[in-house]
Chain A
Amino acid sequence: MIEIENVHKSFGALEVLKGINLTVDKGEVVSVIGGSGSGKSTLLTCINGLEPIDSGRILVDGTEVHAKTTDLNLLRRKIGIVFQQFNAFPHLTVLENVTLAPRKVKGMSRRDAEEIAVQQLSHVGLADKLKVYPNRLSGGQQQRMAIARALAMSPDYMLFDEVTSALDPQLVGEVLDTLKMLADDGMTMICVTHEMSFARDVSNRVAFFHKGVMAEIGPPEQIFGDAQHEETRNFLSSVR
């Protein structure tokens, strides 16, 4: 379970998160939508401790992320994250990209790590690209590799930060299909996304962020059919 309690976060004078409260249960898929600069991406990097927070707290399975005593490297093993930029490691093959962390962080043997990697890469449809370097892959393939790389650490939670935003339109579908598959497998996910149809069809709940505040949250039918806030309706009509 991820519990976010009254989290505030500023970059200099700019307050990007103004008291966020959100609880995500095991097996739940929460989509976060909202305009750019609404703080939704920052929230994800706070959850895995890449960004410090100013006040409030975030608990992952009861462990406080920003407590001084928390071993972040250990905690991050159970929180996978995939970014907008694919962040493939260019000097490693697809297989090596995926086996790196299991081997060097978890201390797995090469054989065990490769077994898991092949399994995950097949899952995202890259079984035939094992020995290829990332620069030979399309953006969609690189992004699917990044997903397999995160999954190879067998995380309990997956965070997706606008994973389709840097992709050519015709490549968006393949990555969204991978996310859907994950959701069907019961993965707990928080997806910051601009893909409204994905948010509607896949998530259990949809949260709408506006200017650092979570203006509204509810099941997709409510947000897309019967939004309570004017800001939500404005946003949705602008992206349609």
Chain B
Amino acid sequence: MFETSLSFNDILFLIRGAGVTLSITILAVVGGTLLGLLFGVLRSHVSPWLTLPLVFVLDIFRSVPLLIQLILANAFQAIAGLQLSPFVTSCVVLALYTSAYCTEIVRGAIDAVPVVTRRAARSLGLSWGQDMTQIVFPMALRVALPSWIGLTLGVMKDSALVLWLGIIELLRASQILVTRLQEPMFILLITGAIYFALSFPIARLGGRLEKRWQEND
């Protein structure tokens, strides 16, 4: 028979780690999405030349490894004497990282709304704000939601990297157990199963939404 020294408390330890993973993900995605919305609207409405610095900075977040971003941010906050906890630093970095991708999603979705539709809305006397809230956002949401779901899941998976700053999230928790119990494959399989269980159903939902909305177009 298969024997393991993994106890109920160890499982709880893993689940607590998963809780940390989820809370970092949620904070980062909420922050990143709000910023992404702001930047995305700017990108699609302000002349490309004015937003060039913004584009450049956001591009850095997508072209430098996340691990390096975390290390740099942590070093920076120490140098600047901000006394931020690794948790806060991680959330800030991941939020900015998320916003870089979210901006492109928002801009792409807004640009996907046909100009004629918007012209029609404005011709009916809708103000810019009304046009945005009544016409553009509902239409853009359909384009953006599947990609946004993908982004959220991506951030959850990438959040594993915060272990480098000493945060005990899911993957780090499993590593601690592996070191103590010396059953790497078994514990990692459980860990992988937790990630999979968090990610796969939502990924499926996103895929289905995408398919259904494409069919309606």
In-complex A–B contact (CB below 8 Å) = no
A residues contacting B by CB (< 8 A) are: none
